[in-house]
Amino acid sequence: MSLAEYIDHTNLKPTATVADIKQLCLEAKTYGFYAVCVNGCHLPLAKEELKNSKVKLAAVIGFPLGAMSTKAKVFEARDYVEQGADEIDMVINIGWLKSKIYEAVKNEIQAIKLAIGDKILKVILETCYLNDEEKEMACSLSVEAGADFVKTSTGFGSGGATFEDVILMKRMVGDKAKIKASGGIKDKETTLKYIELGVSRIGTSSGPTLLK
């Protein structure tokens, strides 16, 4: 697999313009990235721009705080899949996890997975806010709930991906789920190290730079 095929080319900035999203999609097609990852309002535009290409379409839900109601997240996920999203990147309810309301965290992930059927679900743990025990629990709950991926970060928290977190996540999920590293990944060397550690997908806005 080429390096480009690991990359979810991402623009989740609140200031992202129509021109920015068009540029994102053009780069994804040019470099052969696996997917583009966008906020929901940009789905119709991205879908149109990616027409007749192999690039997948990913959208974020409950982003970036994860603190919306489960009902709202489920609606958002279903809506985006209906609009053509191939993959959904959801933010876990961090407050519930830290409060040890584990059943609610798991049920929410499960409900979203159920709503999107055979589409790919990535669960963003936002590791910068969690201790190791919480990270381990988040991984276990995600796997139990049927998530396809666990993902490190939104890129909007106080920190992004780290090698240590990916090692912990890999230890917890084994082959039961894949891992996406995202947040602050800007160079090729770092990317290759993550892949070596067992990461299946890299979320970055620096894709083109990274490949040069």
Nearest C-alpha neighbor of 5 from the set 41, 48, 56: 56
Tokens of 31: 């470099």
* 11: phi then psi, degrees, rounded to nearest 5: -140, 105
Cβ contact 10:25 at 8 Å: no
Catalytic residue among 56, 73, 178, 180, which? 180
Our separate counts of H helices and E strands in the chain read 9, 8
Known catalytic membership, residue 186: no
Beta-strand ranges (E) seen in 40-134 are 56-61, 87-91, 120-124
CA distance 76 to 59: 10
71 labelled catalytic: no
**Contact by Cβ (8 Å): 124, 87:** no
Give me the catalytic one of 73, 106, 113, 151.
Answer: 151
Specify the amino acid at residue 80: Y
Measured CA to CA in angstroms, residue 65 lies from 92, 115, 158, 167, 177 at distances of 8, 20, 12, 24, 23
Q: Residue 106 catalytic?
A: no
Q: Which of 8, 73, 89, 170 is catalytic?
A: 89
- The catalytic site residues sit at 89, 151, 180
